[in-house]
Amino acid sequence: MIIERAAYISMVIMTISLFIAFLRLVKGPSTPDRIVALDLITMLTLGMILAYCMLTGQFVYLNTTIILALITFLGTVAYARYLEKRVL
């Protein structure tokens, strides 16, 4: 019971954080700002999936968080390498 309430509260907090990070993604004056905002958005999505796991008790969704952590690392490294060397 208390865990469900905590999951609801953390999902609300996570949604507000997603809006704030999206504002930085739209505003960001330079390209690395947008990359940092995308990285943060992926981490927030990972946290939201974890809160949904705690809410429903279906822990199969943890597989998604593995893939998400892998993809955010590879994407960030690829963006940074492209910005530095201008080739992939």
For other proteins, the binding residues (CB under 8 A) are: 2-3, 5-7, 9-11, 13-14, 16-18, 20-21, 23-24, 30-33, 35-37, 39-40, 43-44, 46-47, 50-51, 53-54, 59, 62-63, 65-66, 69-70, 72-73, 76-77, 79-81, 83-85
* In contact, 34 and 28? CB cutoff 8 Å: yes
C-alpha distances out from residue 65 to 4, 27, 44, 50, Å: 20, 28, 11, 8
CB of 32 or CB of 88, closer to other proteins: 32
